[in-house]
Amino acid sequence: MADLNIDRIIDAIVGGDEYRLRAWFEQPVRDPDIVRHRQEVFGDLGEESVRAVFDEFAVCMRIMRKRLARRDRVHHPYQRQWWQLSAAAEYVDAVAAMAESLTGLPLTSRALTRWREFVSAYVAGPDFGRLAAAVRRVRRALGEVRYSIRIVDRTLEVAPADASPDYSAAIAKLFSCFGSGGPRAPRVRSEWDDTSLMEEQILDRVAALHPAAFELLTEFSREFQTFADPDVAAFDREIQFYLAYLAFLRRVGGATCLPRLASRGAPVHAEDAFDLALLTHRHRGGNTVVCNDFQLSGPERVLVVTGPNQGGKTTFARTVGQLVYFAALGCPVPARAACLPLPDRLCTHFERAEQAGDPDGRLAEELVRIREILAAATADSVLVLNESFSATGTADAVRIGRDVLDRIVERGSFAVWVTFFDELARTGPATVSMVAATDPDDPSRRTFRIERRPADGNAHAVALAERFGLTYDRVVARITSCE
């Protein structure tokens, strides 16, 4: 997760994780039917008209939960009952609106088609009808409550509404002569959750004046303590797996696609693929992310990536790993088109800093890790290796690398290997050489394009030294001139 920067991507997707989605994004699946099932839903939600319905439903359900949370924070019985009524009203409106909106939408996925059938039957059923009727009845009764308040000698008197004129308009008109604006709109709710002592006393006296309406409110609160259908609540959370991912893709930009699943022996490829993690911290108006292609077909199993430092090799390797990972979640992937394997495991072998307390050294630690990976690898595994075995000399690293490559090919695993050793790119038909390109006119400038071609063995360090005046001859000349 850390080697491929997938943990950073998931952080950007789930944010505060209101819906507890992290566990789903951290668990790729192995069943191709589940992957296709999710891809179908993503395909439907790719239509803005469809996605808007579920986005609106999610907003309303979030409002409902906030109102229930307010109910649990206040103490006065009537206020608690009112927040519960308000939450139920939001729920009724949200479900009814979604059922109506889904009627004419062109849904093709199995999941959302079945959901449309369910919610239509639920809205037409007796339970929802009884809840909706109760909400309308109580709100209508409370909406008809009228009362008057008089302040007499610093005492509040609550009485039934009388025929006294409303002086608000007359007072506003009078003050408008002095340049004052119109009256402010009344506050919809208090600035704090709970009521003050004075408000509670007013509410109790109003309830005493209108016992029938408040009795309906109390009965509603008892009967519909839990009013949300469990399936609706579960759907509200599960649909966020799709909505949150799509919202993330809209934020970061870039072309994405729903990949095809490669059967065993079928070519694996991606066109215009890019690293999603780069976009999570790219500033608006920043540099354009460079896209790359790759393909493995026939006996080819391993992409061996060579070239200069800071040329995009590790980013390319991470891109391949991210493509495979998010394809195994059933999600759109960062590429214009792709056909990817569904792995039984995705393993990484990245260079680690040597620990002072490690008695065996970094090379031994790398060998132990690669042995564990190879012991578990199968023909359905995908491996990503980055600068492995660079802790030893070139001859030993090449010998170890060839042995590891032979074992990867023997198991039939797919792999991408970033290395400094060009010899590993020439080990047989199972390996494909890819090279981080530089500008032909300025070898010190990286293009971040990863090209499929034989490793060239160019000494890019020499080009950099020449650019900054650090070749042996120029350094000696400067020293000599200072003597």
Which pTM was predicted? 0.86
Question: What is the pLDDT at residue 282?
Answer: 63
Q: What is the pLDDT of residues 266-311, one digit of tens each?
A: 899 999 999 999 988 765 555 688 999 999 999 999 999 998 888 8
Strand 381-386 vs strand 345-350: parallel, antiparallel, or unpaired?
parallel
CA distance 137 to 141: 6
3-class secondary structure for 94-131? HHHHHHHHHCCCCCCCHHHHHHHHHHHHHHHCHHHHHH
The answer to whether 41 and 362 are in contact (CB under 8 A) is: no
* HSE-up of residue 394 (Cα within 13 Å, Cβ side): 4
Identify the DSSP state of 72: H
Question: What is the pLDDT at residue 461?
Answer: 62
From first CA to last CA, the distance across the chain in angstroms is 55
DSSP conformation letters of 323-390: HHHHHTTT--BSSSEEEE---SEEEEEE--PPPTT-TTHHHHHHHHHHHHHHHH--TTEEEEEESTTT
The sign of the CA dihedral 321, 322, 328, 333 is negative
Question: What is the pLDDT at residue 45?
Answer: 97
Taking each helix axis as running N to C, give the angle between helix 197-209 and helix 211-223, from 0 to 180 degrees, rounded to the nearest 10: 110
Place of tokens 């002072």: 356
Question: What is the pLDDT at residue 428?
Answer: 86
Residue ranges matching CATH 3.40.50.300 in the chain: 255-481
For the chain, give the number of residues: 483
Question: What is the pLDDT at residue 151?
Answer: 82
Q: Kindly report the backbone phi and psi dihedral angles of residue 469, in degrees, each rounded to the nearest multiple of 5, phi listed first.
A: 70, 35
The answer to whether 449 and 416 are in contact (CB under 8 A) is: no
pLDDT in tens, the chain (483 residues): 999 999 999 999 999 999 999 999 999 999 999 999 999 999 999 999 999 999 999 999 999 999 999 999 998 999 999 999 999 999 999 999 999 999 989 999 999 999 999 999 999 999 999 999 999 999 999 999 999 888 888 788 888 887 777 777 788 788 878 776 666 676 666 556 677 888 888 999 999 999 999 999 999 999 999 999 999 999 999 999 999 999 999 999 889 999 999 988 889 999 999 999 998 876 555 568 899 999 999 999 999 999 888 889 999 999 999 999 999 999 999 999 999 999 999 999 998 776 666 666 788 889 999 999 999 999 999 999 998 888 788 899 899 999 999 999 999 999 999 998 888 988 889 999 999 988 888 777 888 999 999 887 665 566 666 767 788 888 888 888 886
Closest by Cα among 343, 340, 410, 407 to 372: 407
Question: What is the pLDDT at residue 66?
Answer: 95
Question: What is the pLDDT at residue 450?
Answer: 93
**Backbone Cα Rg of the chain:** 33
The topology (CATH level 3) of 255-481 is Rossmann fold (3.40.50)
Question: What is the pLDDT at residue 358?
Answer: 64
